[in-house]
Amino acid sequence: MADIAATDVPTAALLPGETDKATLRLHRAIMIGIAIALVIAPFVAYPVFVMKVLCFALFALAFNLLLGYGGLLSFGHAAYFGMASYVCAFTAKNWGLTPELAILLGTSVAAALGALIGALAIRRQGIYFTMITLALAQMAFFFSLQTPRFTGGEDGIQAVPRGRLFGLIDLSDDRTLYWLVAAIFMAGLLAMYRIIHSPFGQVCKAIRDNEPRAISLGYRANQYKLAVFVLSASLAGLAGSTKAIVFQLASLTDVHWSMSGEVVLMTLVGGLGTVFGPIAGALVIVSMQNYLASLGAWVTVVQGVIFVICVMTFREGIVGVIANRIKRPL
């Protein structure tokens, strides 16, 4: 009887939907802010640097979709990022595909690989799920290492032509390419936002929160988990393909397990399960790698220290802390 007593009186009696609407307005404003920042960025910063941030931000958004909204920790996201990067680079260079087709093909291969690995991994829960994704991603790595005819082995695929968009627009100029990358990033962000705010996204969040309960309501949880896995792998593939065009390079670094670790780091630093956190995380980590490059191997150590500080002091990540401060989901 006592535990029922007024321990949880709501702070304000809001009509259903009121808070939702205010949050949606805030998110819309942030989206517009990001779009404006994207327009200004190439004039105040080095375009290739901004493009690098955008590619990794998209990669982190993809990872966060799976972990933050699907509750599934993949430790093999480098496989989708890296294999898409190889396919895009290979087809653009050897088959002479236009960049948009090469990117599309790379993304499709990542989706197919995601469906394959996802179908195996979702049969297990928790840490076992994570271990399966890692093991299969390692297989993708060794495949890349052992098939130099396709991947260029240790050298990777270099001098990938940026080509002409739709066969018309020459992308060799960084500024021109920038607008394509910015558009891809924005489309990826909007797609991710729509997915988590769709009827499908609602079910994913329910499964993340309490899988047996979702099943007892009649949801076939595994099908939803596989679907969100494939969507996440596709977005990771889109990021990897775009990266191959930007740097004109696909290499073993992209499929290496440390790349899977890096995307975990970006997402946690920025704010797991927040909409905009992965972008902030990617910006911080990529900036660090760039501006601390003179430290050489010490960058990794600095990254490790930041990771530890982040987990110990602000587990919600940068954006998570802000969201708690203003009491609105971001």
Partner 1 sequence: MEFAGFTAVSGVDLQVTRGSIHALIGPNGAGKTTCFNLLTKFLAPTRGSIVFNGRDITREKPAEIARLGLVRSFQLSAVFPQLSVLTNVRIALQRRKRGDSFDFWRSEEVLRSLDREALALVEAVGLSAYAELPAVELSYGRKRALEIATTLALDPEMLLLDEPMAGMGREDVERIEALIRKVSKNRTILMVEHNLSVVASLSDRITVLARGQVLAEGTYAAVSKDPRVVEAYIGSGVGHGH
Question: Where on the chain is the footprint of partner 1 (CB under 8 A)?
Answer: 1-5, 7-8, 10, 13-14, 16-19, 194-195, 197-203, 205-206, 208-210, 212-221, 223-224, 227, 231
Residue closer to partner 1 by CB (options 200, 307) is 200
Instruction: State the nearest-atom distance from the C-beta of 96 to partner 1, in Å.
Output: 32
Q: CB of 244 within 8 A of CB of 105?
A: no
Residue closer to partner 1 by CB (options 172, 202) is 202
Instruction: State the nearest-atom distance from the C-beta of 64 to partner 1, in Å.
Output: 15
Phi, psi of 281 (to 5 degrees): -60, -45
Residue 325 is given by DSSP the state: H
Instruction: State the nearest-atom distance from the C-beta of 32 to partner 1, in Å.
Output: 18
Residue 14 is given by DSSP the state: P
Instruction: State the nearest-atom distance from the C-beta of 6 to partner 1, in Å.
Output: 9
Residue closer to partner 1 by CB (options 134, 228) is 228
In angstroms, rounded to a whole number, what is the distance separating the alpha carbons of residues 119 and 129?
11
In angstroms, rounded to a whole number, what is the distance separating the alpha carbons of residues 34 and 214?
35
Residue closer to partner 1 by CB (options 238, 250) is 238
Instruction: State the nearest-atom distance from the C-beta of 229 to partner 1, in Å.
Output: 12
In angstroms, rounded to a whole number, what is the distance separating the alpha carbons of residues 181 and 186?
9
Instruction: State the nearest-atom distance from the C-beta of 218 to partner 1, in Å.
Output: 4
Length of the chain: 330
Residue closer to partner 1 by CB (options 164, 205) is 205
Residue closer to partner 1 by CB (options 216, 313) is 216
Q: Which residue has the tokens 């200004």?
A: 40
Which residue type occupies 290? N
In angstroms, rounded to a whole number, what is the distance separating the alpha carbons of residues 195 and 202?
9
Of 317, 328, 287, the residue nearest 68 (C-alpha): 317
Residue closer to partner 1 by CB (options 215, 292) is 215
Q: H helices then E strands: how many in the chain?
A: 16, 2
In angstroms, rounded to a whole number, what is the distance separating the alpha carbons of residues 111 and 117?
10
In angstroms, rounded to a whole number, what is the distance separating the alpha carbons of residues 37 and 48?
15
Instruction: State the nearest-atom distance from the C-beta of 13 to partner 1, in Å.
Output: 6
Residue closer to partner 1 by CB (options 30, 288) is 30
Instruction: State the nearest-atom distance from the C-beta of 138 to partner 1, in Å.
Output: 29
Q: CB of 79 within 8 A of CB of 136?
A: yes
Nearest 5°: CA angle at 230, between 226 and 235?
150
Instruction: State the nearest-atom distance from the C-beta of 247 to partner 1, in Å.
Output: 30
Kindly state the helix (H) or strand (E) to which residue 170 belongs, with its residue range.
Answer: strand 169-170
Kindly state the helix (H) or strand (E) to which residue 187 belongs, with its residue range.
Answer: helix 174-196
Residue closer to partner 1 by CB (options 202, 300) is 202
